[in-house]
Amino acid sequence: MSAATASRVLVAREVPGELGAHGGVSAAAASRVLVTGGTGAIGGAVVERLCRGGAEVVFTGRNRRRGAALAQRTGAGFVPSDLCEPGAPEAIVEGALGVLGGLDGLVLAAGVLHRAPLSETSDADWDTLLETNVVAPFLLARACLDALADGGGAVVALASGTAEWPEAELGAYSVSKRALLWLTRMLAVEGAVRGVRANAVSPGHTADGMGSSSVLGGGPIDDLARLVPLPPSGRYSTPEDVAGAVAYLLSDAAAGSTGATLAVDGGMLAALRAVRVRQ
C-alpha cells in the first residue's frame, strides 16, 4: 500500500476537537496519531477519545464496516488492513505519514486472542498470535521511530493482565502479551535517547473487550459477572477507561513516564486472590 493509495481510502478529518475533562490528549501533545486495531472495542474507544481531544488520527482495522462507521462518526482516517500481510506495517506507516505529515503518537491496539492451553495450541494459532501480537507491533514501531523522534513522540502498547499473571487457558496469548510488554520496555530504553517515550496499558476483563467476548462466547454481557469474578473496584473496566489511560500516556502529563505499565483492571492484579474482597 503506497502513501497515495492510503490517502484515497482515508476520510479527511472534519470534526472539531473539544478539549475538556473527557476530551483526550492536550492540544500540545500527540496531535497526529496512528492507531492500530481501531475497529475493535478498545481501539475504537481510543480513536474516539483522541479525536475528541483535537488529535488528527489515522487508524487501521480488518472490519471495513466498523471502520467506515467510526471514520464517519469521528472524522478520523481509516486504512482497512491486515497487519500480518507481508509489508503491511511499513506501508501503513508510509501512508499515515503521507496524510498526517508527521507523527506524534503510535497506539498499538491490534491483537488476537486464542483460548487454549499451550498443549492444545496448533502451530498455525501460535504463529498467528506471535505475528499479530508481537511481530507486527515491532515492525510498526521500528517504521515509526524516526518520525516519532522528530517531535519527541510516544508509543503506547495495549498489553494485558496476562502479561503479568499468565492464565493457563490463555497459554499462547499470555506468552505473546508478555513479549509485547518486553518489546515496549526495550523501545523505552532505545527511544529515550531520541526523545521517544514508550509505555504499556494492561487492561483486565473489559466490558465489550476481546477477552470478555471470548469468555461470553456470544452470550449477553450481563453473563460476565457470573463467569468472571468482579475485581475489588466492584465493576469491570470499560473500553473508555482504557482509552483514558492511553490518552494520558500520550499526553504531556506523562512526560516523565517511559517503560511503565499502567493497569486498568479495577485492582484485580493488585494482590493474590484480590477478588475475595467481593466474595
Spell out a b/e string for 72-103, using b for 16 or more CB atoms within 10 Å of the CB, else e.
Answer: eebbbbbbebebbeeebbebbbbbbbbbbeeb
* Amino acid at residue number 265: D
Residue 173 is among the residues annotated as catalytic for this protein? yes
Beta-carbon contacts of residue 18 (< 8 Å; ≥ 6 apart): 52, 53, 54
Question: Which amino acid belongs to residue 23?
Answer: G
Task: Point out the catalytic residue in the list 42, 56, 78, 173.
Answer: 173
Question: Residue 11's Cα: distance from chain center in Å?
Answer: 21
Q: Are 258 and 192 in contact (CB under 8 A)?
A: yes
- Contact between residue 61 and residue 37 where contact means Cβ atoms under 8 Å apart: yes
**Using CA of residue 36, residue 40, residue 45, residue 48, what is the dihedral sign?**
positive
For residues 124, 127, 129, 135, the Cα torsion angle rounded to the nearest 10 degrees is -160
Catalytically annotated residues: 173
